[in-house]
Structure 1
């Protein structure tokens, strides 16, 4: 049987995870978070980082127990039950299926701010058509090109932070280090938690490194460490970047919250820097959307191939292109919802699926280690009960802090999943088919 070569080190896996998270998104959603938190974006990222760290600890423990692809779906299925595993996978599917929509919507908002004469729906449709065609044809961007595009993102982000710090200390005469971006007289914890619920969007994909298990040296050690490092480094990056941007723009007033970073870029760097920033953001959003749509279509294909979704529709590859055309087109059709949604609702809606999966993974630690493996002692109580419970509580709190419309949409998605599970299992009498995440 053919096997992938184990060539990836901890550093390489960690870099993959950071890149997957698209770091420049901290600028893309800054205005939305500033509006939601009342000007305390760094505090929202601190809260989100703490919550994600507890969840990352649970992911790391489960990755050590089950060093295979499948992430939340596999962990919950094997440790609790196949039916709950399906619901975890259903929550992950929400992320995968609707993530391209949010990515393209953010990109379209910034392009519309730069070219206001072009309606935003035109940019949304342009993103959808181009990326769908590329994914159908099956063109893959070379690793070197991906690396260069990622380098461009980091350079733009570093320049943005540097100019923000220079503007804050020079033009605004602000001290370089201050508590003001974290806490002001108008500080309200419910607002910060509402912002944290949105900020978790920036962390989506920290668990994606589990797909590299078969290519990693000592995966039982490396993958759990990488998951924690990605969460810590990503959280630090988001907190530092948002701190300096908030320092340079303490107000929550924007012409458009969806494209606020463009306004700030012009203030701190002038027209030329606005153009550079826009190029960096759009390149990041385009490549991220391309990858997200490809990943979503592959998941739909895997579900169709294994009988979790209708095989005739989703379980086939194009004879001409060798790609899951039906799944790719469905992702493009779903993304048309961006024509009727704003960025806040779309990102919050996606986070609902993430929080559902995260909550079940935290529970799976308790079921696997404390109940099934019967790990005992003070250390085990903390690692396998208290920490997962803290992660579970944090995830449920963040879920409850989401935009109300997003909660209703998320509950609707969950209800559809429950109905589908009921019929697929003959009234819950049978176990759902098991998904396999090997290369198709």
Structure 2
């Protein structure tokens, strides 16, 4: 039995935009403005350029390997099973902290909306809710995601219109054309790069478009185009929102972790702010719910295939048919949101993401230029220069990550290497290869 090929370019692009969740720009808005000293727009432009080059590389690798597994598969096929395992291990850190980051952002929104309730109550409640729902089993259809995405776009459009109207009438800078969000004299190139490393969190999810390869008409052409278009559309939204937002209200937020709701209230008043926060909370909660479900299925795939201990990670609940132990483990990790802020939690995610993105870019060179021997001048531009630029960007952003993220990521990588030695009996055999399709089947049946 095979999946029906019915998707064209537009619905695939909309899927990618919905997965990235455009309102995520407000979740890190205050942190971005603070970390860049008022040059958040410049940071988003840098991040957009970096992600476009990486999205191009993902498109090239989808053509070569139109299967699930994404960066793990590409690295394994290009660099071998052992390095592929390490890339998959790094991506696992990304997946582990994505639901936690969604929890941090959602708790920040709720804490801003209802300041009388302690943040820890929101965190525990959110973790409990997503964990219980995932154990019971939940399926969010494409149509629901589409409507949520359209609602987010409407909210953003209203915000931009109200902001422009306020600036035209003398609020903030009082003019629509200003270099302040781009070339603030108090900032520097280093602060822009630090901000860009955080901004990339907003782009996470564009690579998920490749999971639709088997349901898309002419995927070798459609998937690469959709990946680039979805990244470009969301990137432009992030740039526009931060630009007009800084024109209206340059800085000085009472709480940088919840600056999004604060500036929305400045722009549209209490009623608009309430609707906006509600939309953001639902979007973040949906993201966290999906992320927890995804990583629990990945852990299940690793347990079933012998990469992780099968008695714990490779078991399904007899009644609910869900990987209960994995869901509980991810829920416990999510409780780290009690101690982390938005900047640090997103940096944890980006450690794994930047590692994966770098090797996806390098995989293009190995697959096409080295092994495929495609070496004309055009090939060198497409399969060497462009992926090298993409890898250069992601490496540069990597070294500007939060120091705590770099420490944790390095410790995670060392732990993975030690486990790889155990798994392969000191490299005397290959690590087991993951079967992502089976994990997807479990996710779809939940």
Bucket of the pairwise TM-score, normalised by the shorter protein? over 0.9
Paired residues, what number?
Answer: 438
Residue 134 of structure 2 is aligned to residue 135 of structure 1? yes
Report which stretch shifted further, 49-58 or 39-48.
49-58
What is the aligned partner in structure 2 of residue 237 from structure 1?
237
What is the aligned partner in structure 1 of residue 52 from structure 2?
53
What is the aligned partner in structure 2 of residue 317 from structure 1?
316
Verify the 8 A CA contact 1:69 1:212 in the aligned structure 2: no
What is the aligned partner in structure 2 of residue 206 from structure 1?
206
Verify the 8 A CA contact 1:42 1:242 in the aligned structure 2: yes
What is the aligned partner in structure 1 of residue 118 from structure 2?
119
Verify the 8 A CA contact 1:18 1:230 in the aligned structure 2: yes
What is the aligned partner in structure 1 of residue 436 from structure 2?
437
Q: Compute the TM-score of the two structures, normalised by the length of structure 1.
A: 0.97
Q: Within 5 A, what are the aligned runs for 1:17-416?
A: 17-172=16-171, 174-251=174-251, 253-416=252-415
5+ residue gaps in structure 1? Answer: none
State the SS of the aligned residue for 2:294. Answer: helix
Residue 423 of structure 2 is aligned to residue 424 of structure 1? yes
What is the aligned partner in structure 1 of residue 7 from structure 2?
8
Report which stretch shifted further, 231-240 or 15-24.
231-240
Taking the aligned partners of 1:14 and 1:149, their CA distance within structure 2 comes to 15
State the SS of the aligned residue for 2:436. Answer: coil
Verify the 8 A CA contact 2:135 2:327 in the aligned structure 1: yes
5+ residue gaps in structure 2? Answer: none
Q: CA deviation at 1:149?
A: 2.4
Taking the aligned partners of 1:89 and 1:168, their CA distance within structure 2 comes to 47
Q: CA deviation at 1:116?
A: 1.4
State the SS of the aligned residue for 2:138. Answer: coil
Verify the 8 A CA contact 1:86 1:432 in the aligned structure 2: yes
Taking the aligned partners of 2:102 and 2:432, their CA distance within structure 1 comes to 31
State the SS of the aligned residue for 1:56. Answer: helix
When the two chains are superposed, the root-mean-square deviation of aligned CA atoms in Å is: 1.2
Q: CA deviation at 1:147?
A: 2.8
Taking the aligned partners of 1:205 and 1:147, their CA distance within structure 2 comes to 15
Taking the aligned partners of 1:146 and 1:75, their CA distance within structure 2 comes to 28
Q: CA deviation at 1:141?
A: 3.4
Verify the 8 A CA contact 2:14 2:146 in the aligned structure 1: no
Taking the aligned partners of 1:16 and 1:143, their CA distance within structure 2 comes to 8
Verify the 8 A CA contact 2:20 2:203 in the aligned structure 1: yes
Taking the aligned partners of 1:292 and 1:215, their CA distance within structure 2 comes to 22
Q: CA deviation at 1:178?
A: 2.3
Taking the aligned partners of 1:385 and 1:92, their CA distance within structure 2 comes to 24
Q: CA deviation at 1:142?
A: 4.1
Taking the aligned partners of 1:61 and 1:107, their CA distance within structure 2 comes to 35
Verify the 8 A CA contact 1:345 1:406 in the aligned structure 2: yes
Q: Compute the TM-score of the two structures, normalised by the length of structure 2.
A: 0.96
Verify the 8 A CA contact 2:53 2:386 in the aligned structure 1: yes
Taking the aligned partners of 2:325 and 2:163, their CA distance within structure 1 comes to 45
Verify the 8 A CA contact 1:80 1:368 in the aligned structure 2: no
1:395-438 per-position Cα deviation (integer Å, ceiling 9, x unaligned): 11101111111111111111111111111111122111001121
1:24-83 per-position Cα deviation (integer Å, ceiling 9, x unaligned): 011111000000000111100000011111111111111111111111011111111111
Report which stretch shifted further, 191-200 or 132-141.
132-141
Verify the 8 A CA contact 2:127 2:331 in the aligned structure 1: yes
Q: CA deviation at 1:309?
A: 1.2
Verify the 8 A CA contact 1:104 1:285 in the aligned structure 2: yes
Q: CA deviation at 1:144?
A: 3.5
Verify the 8 A CA contact 1:366 1:388 in the aligned structure 2: yes
State the SS of the aligned residue for 1:429. Answer: coil
Taking the aligned partners of 1:225 and 1:149, their CA distance within structure 2 comes to 23
Taking the aligned partners of 1:271 and 1:14, their CA distance within structure 2 comes to 33
Verify the 8 A CA contact 1:304 1:310 in the aligned structure 2: yes
Taking the aligned partners of 2:286 and 2:74, their CA distance within structure 1 comes to 29
Report which stretch shifted further, 124-133 or 140-149.
140-149
